[in-house]
């Protein structure tokens, strides 16, 4: 049972939530590239017409949405880019030999945008997992935050250059006893 007064609990809860303006600013900063590139590409697309494509510039906005919001962001960015392309072709009154070509082009672009967005999501997940592994390994070893030197088992500090030379000079890697016993005899 908590002994804190109700006013203390409300004060603590208020400290955890960001101010509404700060939350709005954070959200807008997360979608800033989309807010800039989607309208710019749309206006450029309508102005320049079908002969000059601005197709790659939608990738910037789709990539940011995928990076910030994962798969949902990738789907949203791809869908928004496709819709803007279809609307731009209608507003620009582009002439195609058949009506279905507009939708085929939109489908192809949407597929490319979606694939790029999914690749960005996968890249971010891989990057995050590697960062977590590195942090876990750093917690096992004392590393100087100034120069990156590592404390040896004898308590002396070894520079990264010396450590790189040591690792490069080793001929074999050692295995733990579990891996050694699991390997078949040679």
Between 12 and 132, the more confident residue is 132
pLDDT tens readout for residues 127-167: 999 999 988 877 778 888 888 788 877 888 888 788 777 66
CB-based burial of residue 63 (10 Å sphere; 0-12 exposed, 13-18 middle, 19+ buried)? buried
What digits encode the pLDDT tens for the residues 41-62?
Answer: 999 999 998 888 888 899 999 9
Residue by residue, DSSP assigns 127-171 as HHHHHHHHHHHHHHS-B-TTT--EE-TTS-EE-HHHHHHHHHH--
Alpha-carbon distance of 9 to 171, in angstroms, equals 60
Q: What is the CA radius of gyration of the chain?
A: 27
**Beta pairing partners, 158:** 150
Report the alpha-carbon angle 83-114-53, nearest 5: 55
């Amino acid at each position: 049972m908590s002994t804190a007064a109700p006013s203390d609990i409300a004060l603590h809860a208020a400290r955890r939530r960001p101010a509404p303006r700060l939350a709005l600013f954070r959200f807008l900063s997360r979608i800033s590239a989309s807010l800039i590139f989607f309208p710019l590409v749309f206006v450029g697309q309508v102005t320049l017409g079908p002969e000059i494509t601005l197709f790659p510039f939608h990738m910037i906005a789709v990539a940011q949405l995928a990076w910030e919001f994962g798969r949902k962001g990738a789907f949203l960015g791809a869908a928004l880019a496709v819709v803007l392309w279809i609307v731009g072709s209608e507003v620009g009154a582009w002439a195609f030999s058949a009506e279905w070509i507009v939708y085929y082009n939109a489908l192809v672009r949407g597929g490319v945008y979606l694939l790029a967005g999914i690749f960005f999501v996968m890249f971010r997940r891989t990057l995050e997992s590697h960062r977590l592994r590195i942090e876990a390994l750093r917690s096992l070893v004392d590393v100087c935050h100034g120069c990156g030197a590592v404390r040896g088992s004898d308590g002396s500090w070894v520079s990264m250059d010396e450590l790189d030379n040591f690792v490069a000079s080793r001929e074999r890697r050692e295995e733990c006893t579990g891996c050694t016993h699991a390997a078949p005899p040679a």
